[in-house]
């Protein structure tokens, strides 16, 4: 009873304090209720979907490719067996058509040439001597024939003269064949000497030197790789999914597969007529769509290296 009396007196003395506490408690309840409503609303709202990335409409097709030169690079080989005596050019040198690139040892070839010249001269001399005798033998046979008709000579003598003429004509045929054989040997020996000098078939730049001085070479041994002075091209591979989208004359963009920041303009020159095995697979031994059609594009630059793998993006 004393406790209730004490509480009543306390309330009577501090009515304003009780009012403030009651108002603070109400405000706190309202705030908590509002926060709960917000949280419940957020939980009931469906989650936002991530934005989708559409394919780039600027390209009608894309393909892998490699940089090449129009007509391809050229391998220059040894024209005959022999020892490499001299190299006149090195990697990076620019050469003109007909320029001497290397020299093979000529001693054996020159000896063979001298022998062939002697044989040809001997055959021609023999044929010439026989040819000189023919008119005289022919005239003698004719005189004996007339003498036999006049009864001044025997028929056997005339027959012997005719036989001598026939034998000489046969010898002349043999000599003519010998002369022809000797001339062919001479031509071959002369060609071997001339082939000792390796000439550039076209103008261009030396990309590789594959031999060293002093090496013993066989005929057709590769000596140099030459890049002809022709425009660069791209050999791209179109799979079945995109081959019909690409047309001759279409413009394209070419970028290195390792650096797509620099774009090189190109134009489609030719599209192959048949599918062949894909050679530019992104992953070795890739089996997905392993056949493709070759597409040749002309590049508007000469700054890229032959063999560089590139990505080709075809423009509409």
User: Residue 301: CA atoms inside 13 Å, Cβ hemisphere, count?
Assistant: 14
Distance CA 296, CA 195 (A): 36
Cβ 236 vs Cβ 224: under 8 Å: no
Find the farthest-apart pair of alpha carbons in the chain and give their distance in angstroms, rounded.
198
For the cut 70, the answer to whether the pLDDT of residue 248 exceeds it is yes
Tell me what pLDDT residue 193 has: 81
Tell me what pLDDT residue 160 has: 83
For the cut 70, the answer to whether the pLDDT of residue 112 exceeds it is yes
Query: Going along 216-258, which residue ranges are E strands?
Result: 216-217, 222-228, 232-238, 251-256
Tell me what the mean pLDDT of segment 54-69 comes to.
Answer: 83
User: 15 or 137: whose pLDDT is higher?
Assistant: 137
Cβ 165 vs Cβ 134: under 8 Å: yes
For the cut 60, the answer to whether the pLDDT of residue 124 exceeds it is yes
Cα–Cα separations (whole angstroms), residue 88 to 78, 83, 96: 14, 15, 13
For the cut 90, the answer to whether the pLDDT of residue 289 exceeds it is no
Distance CA 60, CA 241 (A): 11
Comparing 8-17, 111-120, 258-267, the range with the smallest average pLDDT is 8-17
Taking each helix axis from N to C end, the angle separating 107-150 and 155-194, rounded to the nearest 10 degrees, works out to 160
Tell me what pLDDT residue 55 has: 43
Report the number of secondary-structure helices (H) and strands (E) in the chain.
4, 15
Quick one: CA torsion of 272, 274, 280, 285, rounded to 10 degrees?
A: 180
| Average pLDDT of the chain to the nearest whole number | 80
Total-model pTM: 0.57
Helix (H, G, I), strand (E, B) or coil at 171: helix
Helix (H, G, I), strand (E, B) or coil at 133: helix
Cβ 184 vs Cβ 119: under 8 Å: no
């Amino acid at each position: 009873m004393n406790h209730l009396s004490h509480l009543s007196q306390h309330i009577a003395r501090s009515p304003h304090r009780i009012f403030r506490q009651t108002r603070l408690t109400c405000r706190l309840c309202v705030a908590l209720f509002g926060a709960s409503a917000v949280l419940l609303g957020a939980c009931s709202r469906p989650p936002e979907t991530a934005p989708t990335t559409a394919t780039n409409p600027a390209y009608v097709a894309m393909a892998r490719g490699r940089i090449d030169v129009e007509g391809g690079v050229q391998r220059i080989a040894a024209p005959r067996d022999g020892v490499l005596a001299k190299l006149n050019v090195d990697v990076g040198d620019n050469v003109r058509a007909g320029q001497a690139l290397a020299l093979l040892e000529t001693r054996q070839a020159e000896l063979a040439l001298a022998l062939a010249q002697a044989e040809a001269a001997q055959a021609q001399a023999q044929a010439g001597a026989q040819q000189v005798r023919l008119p005289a033998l022919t005239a003698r046979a004719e005189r004996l024939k007339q003498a036999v008709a006049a009864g001044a000579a025997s028929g056997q003598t005339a027959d012997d003269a005719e036989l001598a003429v026939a034998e000489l004509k046969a010898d002349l045929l043999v000599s003519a064949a010998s002369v022809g054989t000797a001339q062919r040997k001479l031509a071959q020996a002369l060609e071997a000497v001339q082939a000792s000098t390796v000439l550039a078939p076209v103008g261009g730049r030396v990309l590789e030197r594959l031999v060293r001085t002093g090496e013993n070479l066989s005929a057709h041994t590769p000596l140099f790789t030459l890049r002809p002075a022709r425009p660069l091209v791209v050999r791209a591979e179109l799979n079945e999914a995109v081959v019909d989208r690409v047309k001759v004359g279409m413009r394209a963009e070419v970028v290195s597969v390792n650096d797509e920041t620099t774009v090189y303009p190109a134009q489609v020159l030719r599209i192959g007529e048949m599918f062949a095995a894909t050679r530019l697979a992104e992953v070795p031994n890739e089996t997905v769509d392993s056949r493709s059609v070759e597409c040749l594009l002309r590049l508007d630059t000469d700054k890229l290296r032959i063999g560089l793998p590139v990505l080709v993006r075809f423009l509409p």
